[in-house]
Amino acid sequence: MSARVVLQQADITRALTRISHEIIESNRGAENLVLLGIPTRGVILADRIAAIISGITETPIEAGSLDVTMYRDDLAKHPTRTPSPTRIPASGVDGKTVVLVDDVLYSGRTIRAALDAIGDFGRPRAVRLAALVDRGHRELPIRPDFVGKNLPSAQTERINVRLAELDGADLVSIDSAAG
């Protein structure tokens, strides 16, 4: 396997800042906005975006996490990871604009599961999707509203997102099979 770095810390910060501005513009401000990250790295990204939006608008933004493990339609095909806690902000999601945040958008199955999961917690006014990386290869008609970087990739390649809070450094790399 050979890996090449496609985004470094400055690139990730710039992408998250741009996504934050786009969310504010799309929502016409920061009111009634809730960010829900999809574990593991989507939660970290949601917290970072919430901090950026709060800094820009001087409005506290609520961020939480939404574990979708048990909502997936491919549990029989893929080994499941240990579910993470779901943290819905105290004000809930009813009537709010919820932005789902994930690190890499691929087949769309995780987001489909997230849409099912969110229904168990209330009825948002709208649900939007932010992804740091969109790599293509969608199996479902799901499209992100906010994208940090489009990285068309072969299905044999793997996109790795590393974040300082978990991995010690911020970077995105593509691992490709040698040959």
- Look at the domain 9-71+87-153 and name its fold: Rossmann fold (3.40.50)
**pLDDT value for 176:** 86
Least confident of 2-6, 98-102, 160-164: 2-6
User: Exposure string (b/e) for 137-163, b if CB count within 10 Å is 16 or more?
Assistant: eeeeebebbbbbbebebeeebbbbbbb
* Nearest by Cα to 143 from 122, 115, 166: 115
> What angle, rounded to 10 degrees, do the helices at 9-27 and 41-57 form?
60
**pLDDT value for 80:** 66
Long-range contacts of 167-173 (CB under 8 A, 24+ apart): 169/9, 170/8, 170/9, 170/12, 170/13, 171/5, 171/7, 171/8, 171/9, 171/12, 172/5, 172/6, 172/7, 172/11, 172/12, 172/132, 172/133, 173/3, 173/4, 173/5, 173/6
pLDDT for 113 beyond 70: yes
**pLDDT value for 79:** 67
pLDDT for 33 beyond 70: yes
Average of per-residue pLDDT across 38-61? 97
Domain ranges in the chain?
9-71+87-153
Average of per-residue pLDDT across 75-101? 87
* Nearest by Cα to 177 from 142, 153, 146: 153
pLDDT for 130 beyond 80: yes
Radius of gyration of the chain (CA): 16
pLDDT for 109 beyond 80: yes
**pLDDT value for 2:** 77
| Tokens, residue 47 | 């917290």
54-84 tens-digit pLDDT: 999 999 999 999 999 888 887 667 666 778 8
**pLDDT value for 1:** 59
pLDDT for 179 beyond 50: no
Q: Residue 50: CA atoms inside 13 Å, Cβ hemisphere, count? A: 23
pLDDT greater at residue 84 or residue 167: 167
What is the residue-averaged pLDDT of the chain?
A: 93
| Tokens, residue 159 | 């996109």
